[in-house]
Amino acid sequence: MGRSGRAAQTDTARSAYFDRVFAIVAAIPPGRVTTYGTIARALGTPRSARVVGWALNVAPEGAALPCHRVVDRDGNLSGGWHFGHPDIMANRLRDEDVPFVAPYRVDLASCLWDPAEGLVDALGAERERDEQGE
DNA sequence: AGTATGACCAACG
DNA sequence: CCGTTGGCCATAC
């Protein structure tokens, strides 16, 4: 099979870290947003917020990842230009009824979604049972 | 194997 | 309040 040569390594390997980033982004519910730092924290690497942004940078166009639901710590559409124009990203979020506090800034207080919470729901109450033990 | 980068974050002035 | 600086971590060349 003619793999795409040098692209095969980066396109297929894609370090598990990036893969986990994509998994979390794909799990962001409509109408909600999360931040790069929050995703990084959910992965156990709170200092790797920049790497999370990089993951989206190399995210394949074919992947239906709602990368428009990822904003920076202040709710600003820092990656807006990646969609061609920040307005495109903003329109997508508005289409999901995401509240804005500024033309290119969402209201995190209302729509911030913590991946950890979503994962807790996915993993089941097993973790909750552990916390009850405390 | 080392250097440069980046859709970040926090600290400073 | 706003611009600037540094650190951070994983990837790309």
Taking the domains of chain A in order of start, what are their residue ranges?
A: 6-133
- Residue pair A97/A31 in contact (Cβ under 8 Å)? The answer is yes
The whole-angstrom separation of Cα A34 and Cα A2 is: 38
The whole-angstrom separation of Cα A30 and Cα A95 is: 9
Q: Is A111 annotated in the active site? A: no
Cβ of A57 near strand C (distance < 7 A): no
Cβ atoms within 10 Å, residue A77 = 26
Taking the C1' atom of every nucleotide in all shown strands and the CA of A19, the nearest one is C10
Mean pLDDT to the nearest integer, A60-79: 93
Mean pLDDT to the nearest integer, A94-114: 95
The whole-angstrom separation of Cα A86 and Cα A95 is: 14
CATH code that applies to domain A6-133: 1.10.10.10
Mean pLDDT of the residues in chain A = 84
Residue A28 pLDDT exceeds 60 = yes
Please report the pLDDT score of residue A60 as a whole number: 85
| pLDDT tier for residue A133 given thresholds of 50, 70 and 90 | low
Residue A14 pLDDT exceeds 80 = no
Residue A48, phi then psi, degrees to nearest 5? -105, 30
Which nucleotides in chain C have some atom under 7 angstroms from a protein Cβ? 7-13
Which nucleotides in chain B have some atom under 7 angstroms from a protein Cβ? 6-10
| Amino acid A2 CA to nucleotide B10 C1' distance, rounded Å | 46
A87 versus A8: the higher-pLDDT residue is A87
Cβ of A47 near strand C (distance < 7 A): yes
A118 versus A33: the higher-pLDDT residue is A33
